[in-house]
């Protein structure tokens, strides 16, 4: 059973819905947390602005007419950094550069 492209939305700190997109097959846990879009920096602000709630959990981005991702042909330049807020983690995990940021002209 393919699970790629499934939305996983969960409640964080009892306040914010966070949007993840499952990118791996079943039994291979892989997902991407969507942390922001233009004008909405932060995963909680993003889901609030787009009215993304846990009611959308488990929908498929492959064939949904409710939530989808559009390919506009953009190939951004990006850079990586270690994740933030995981000082409790041990090495090498807290130093792995799994945070991807799009380069801007600012």
Instruction: Specify the pLDDT at position 3.
Output: 63
58 with 77, same domain: the answer is no
80 with 58, same domain: the answer is no
Sheet of 31-33: strands edge to edge?
A: 7-12, 16-22, 31-33
94 with 51, same domain: the answer is no
Question: Which residues lie below 8 Å from residue 80, measured CB to CB, with a gap of 6+?
Answer: 97, 98, 99, 100, 101
Instruction: Specify the pLDDT at position 101.
Output: 87
Q: Each residue's pLDDT tens digit in the chain (106 positions)?
A: 566 789 999 999 999 999 999 988 878 878 888 988 888 888 999 999 999 999 999 999 988 999 988 889 989 999 999 988 888 999 999 999 988 888 887 6
Global confidence as pTM: 0.75
- Residue 2 is assigned to a structural domain of this protein: yes
The boundaries of the domain holding residue 20 are 1-62
Domain count, the chain: 2
58 with 81, same domain: the answer is no
Neighbours of 9 (CB within 10 A): 18
Apex CA 79: angle with CA 78 and CA 84, to 5°?
Answer: 125
- Residue 68 is assigned to a structural domain of this protein: no
2 with 38, same domain: the answer is yes
Beta bridge partners of 10: 18
């Amino acid at each position: 059973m393919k699970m790629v492209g499934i939305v996983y939305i969960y409640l964080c700190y009892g306040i914010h819905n966070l949007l993840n997109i499952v990118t791996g097959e079943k039994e291979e846990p892989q997902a991407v947390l969507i942390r922001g879009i233009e004008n909405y920096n932060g995963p909680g602000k993003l889901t609030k602005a787009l009215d993304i709630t846990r009611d959308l959990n488990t929908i498929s981005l492959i064939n949904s007419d409710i939530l989808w991702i559009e390919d506009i042909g953009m190939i951004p330049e990006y850079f990586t950094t270690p994740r933030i807020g995981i000082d409790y983690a041990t090495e090498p995990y807290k130093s792995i550069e799994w945070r991807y940021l799009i380069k801007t002209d600012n």
